[in-house]
Amino acid sequence: MEKLFLTAAIAAAMISTASAQLLINGAGATFPYPIYSKWFDAYSKVDPSVRFNYQSIGSGGGQKQILAETVDFGASDGPMSDANLGKAPGKLLHIPTVAGADVVSYNLPGKPKLRLDGPTLADIFLGKITKWNDPRIATQNQGVKLPAQDIVVVHRSDGSGTTYIFVDYLSHVSSEWKTKVGTNTSVNWPTGLGGKGNEGVAGQIKQVPGAIGYIELAYANQNKLPFADMKNSSGNYITPSLESVTEALASAEIPDDFRFSMVNPPGAKAYPIAGATWLLVYQHQKNHEKGRKLVEFLKWAYTDGEKIATTLDYAPLPDKVIKRVLTRVDEIKY
């Protein structure tokens, strides 16, 4: 009987603890989902009184939900436009967290290592290059046996910061892309199949012979998918990696509002299709306790959380940028 009472007491204590937890809701980008999941799990051991519920629905969804105030924070890999910021019921802060790479992945026999330049990649996604053995691909890949196979373009079907980084790059290297398609979290694709989230695009690439698509580096590694070395603005073919993303981040000019692009940077060793990701937080928090806990989490993220980033192929922010971001976090009022 005593054992029964003890079991019931422990269960009641667990229920009481769970109900006492403060729930902070967020939604948005799939690009940083692996690192955010790791952060939230690690932070639950630092402060068991708070729990984070993050829905990986894409950057477009994250922006919409923070504007509608249905979440406590949004997440986006593309900075919000002036027009979108103007719709916000209060001042929204862009708080950069980490940087990562969009990789160009493909499904070809033997998983060869390919090299591509920006203009060629743009023409593939414009639907102008349609065969894998096209001369423009072949000349960059001497010694690689390329099949006379149709290229199947795969892109995101949802509003996506991963898309924003990718099309921002294509707009930098192709005037035709910039004019006809442009840069946004969602665009009118000239050709191809859609997949939802990085997970959906990775799944399509794995399943469809001849496919080519863009996904975040961590998803490519997790799915054991090959990816291309990309020619950067210095004329060097660069493998996407923690080091080459860090090189790209180091050359980025970061303004006071932290909305910036780091595609096609000047560094000789910089990977050209890289971008930062942001948390979107209202400066004036309506809920005192949630605001306080969110600020405490953010301060932990920039001291301890950044150290975890490299284990998941994300580049942590430079120390000088972290100091600036922590000053911005101090501006959050609750």
In a domain, 261, yes or no: yes
Nearest CA among 59, 60, 58, 63 for reference residue 86:
63
Q: Which residue has the tokens 């005192």?
A: 288
pLDDT at 5 over 50: no
181 and 171 within one domain: yes
Determine the pLDDT at residue 15: 42
141 and 85 within one domain: no
pLDDT at 4 over 60: no
Determine the pLDDT at residue 8: 44
In a domain, 296, yes or no: yes
Domain end (from 274, 295, 314):
274
231 and 256 within one domain: yes
Pull the structure tokens for residue 157: 């079907």
Asked if residues 309 and 316 have their Cβ atoms less than 8 Å apart, the reply is: yes
Element (H, E) at 156: strand 152-156
Distance, in Å, from the CA atom of 213 to the CA atom of 189, rounded to the nearest integer, reads 12
Nearest CA among 103, 102, 84, 104 for reference residue 94:
84
Distance from CA of residue 116 to its chain's centroid? 22
237 and 182 within one domain: yes
296 and 243 within one domain: no
Rounded percentage of the chain residues whose pLDDT exceeds 90: 87
Distance, in Å, from the CA atom of 39 to the CA atom of 267, rounded to the nearest integer, reads 30
- Mean per-residue pLDDT, 151-171: 95
Determine the pLDDT at residue 31: 87
User: Which pLDDT band, with edges at 50, 70 and 90, does 257 fall under?
Assistant: very high
- Mean per-residue pLDDT, 255-271: 95
In a domain, 50, yes or no: yes
51 and 6 within one domain: yes
For CA atoms 68, 73, 78, 84, give the dihedral sign.
Answer: positive
Distance, in Å, from the CA atom of 301 to the CA atom of 278, rounded to the nearest integer, reads 13
Determine the pLDDT at residue 159: 87
Model pLDDT for residues 236-251, shown as the tens digit of each residue: 999 999 999 999 999 8
221 and 72 within one domain: no
Distance, in Å, from the CA atom of 62 to the CA atom of 272, rounded to the nearest integer, reads 25
235 and 138 within one domain: yes
Distance, in Å, from the CA atom of 70 to the CA atom of 64, rounded to the nearest integer, reads 9
Determine the pLDDT at residue 18: 44
pLDDT at 9 over 80: no
Distance, in Å, from the CA atom of 20 to the CA atom of 51, rounded to the nearest integer, reads 10
Length of the chain in terms of residues written? 334
Nearest CA among 250, 269, 268 for reference residue 260:
250
Q: Which amino acid is residue 222, in one-letter code?
A: Q
In a domain, 286, yes or no: yes
Pull the structure tokens for residue 315: 């580049």
Average pLDDT value for the chain: 93
DSSP 131: B
| 3 state SS for 188-219 | CCCCCEEECHHHHHHHHHHHCCCEEEEEEHHH
Distance from CA of residue 165 to its chain's centroid? 8
Model pLDDT for residues 270-283, shown as the tens digit of each residue: 999 999 999 999 99
- Mean per-residue pLDDT, 134-139: 98
**Which residues neighbour 220 within 8 Å (Cβ) at sequence distance 6 or greater?**
103, 105, 202, 226, 227
Determine the pLDDT at residue 251: 87
Distance, in Å, from the CA atom of 279 to the CA atom of 281, rounded to the nearest integer, reads 6
Q: Which residue has the tokens 């593939």?
A: 124
Q: Looking at residue 222, which CATH number applies to its domain?
A: 3.40.190.10
In a domain, 58, yes or no: yes
In a domain, 155, yes or no: yes
User: Which pLDDT band, with edges at 50, 70 and 90, does 1 fall under?
Assistant: very low
Determine the pLDDT at residue 249: 93
245 and 286 within one domain: no
Domain end (from 236, 258, 274):
274
Half-sphere exposure of 230 (CA within 13 A, CB side): 30
Distance, in Å, from the CA atom of 226 to the CA atom of 112, rounded to the nearest integer, reads 8
pLDDT at 3 over 60: no
Model pLDDT for residues 280-297, shown as the tens digit of each residue: 999 999 999 999 999 999
243 and 112 within one domain: yes
> Domain span at residue 62?
2-99+276-329
- Mean per-residue pLDDT, 207-217: 97
pLDDT at 35 over 70: yes
Asked if residues 315 and 99 have their Cβ atoms less than 8 Å apart, the reply is: yes
283 and 163 within one domain: no
281 and 270 within one domain: no
In a domain, 334, yes or no: no
Number of domains in the chain: 2
Determine the pLDDT at residue 237: 98
pLDDT at 200 over 70: yes
Determine the pLDDT at residue 6: 45
Determine the pLDDT at residue 42: 97
